[in-house]
Amino acid sequence: MKEEDKEQVGLEKFLNSVVIVSAKDGRKFRGRLTQYDEYMNLVLKDVEEFSGEEQAVKHKLVLIKGGNVSAIST
């Protein structure tokens, strides 16, 4: 295994892209990732929030706590 494989998995490849964040509380958020930190706290802009079958709720800005993040996908 090469040493560079062991660097912390980063979010650089997701920055300024539209991502889907799956949260532990069952909600999903789709928006542009504008900021993050080492705890995986995330700031999304122009966000749609999905919860079960309900219609999406829109937010200008959402901060998702790292401890509430399950997965991030594109």
Chain contacts with its own copies (rule: CB under 8 A): 1, 5-15, 22-27, 29, 35-43, 47, 49, 59-74
Nearer to its own copies (CB atom), residue 6 or residue 55? 6
Least separation in angstroms between CB 15 and its own copies: 7
Least separation in angstroms between CB 50 and its own copies: 13
Our CA angle for 63, 67, 71, nearest 5°, is 85
Cβ–Cβ < 8 Å for 40, 11: yes
User: Residue 3 in 3-state DSSP?
Assistant: helix
Cβ–Cβ < 8 Å for 22, 51: no
Least separation in angstroms between CB 42 and its own copies: 7
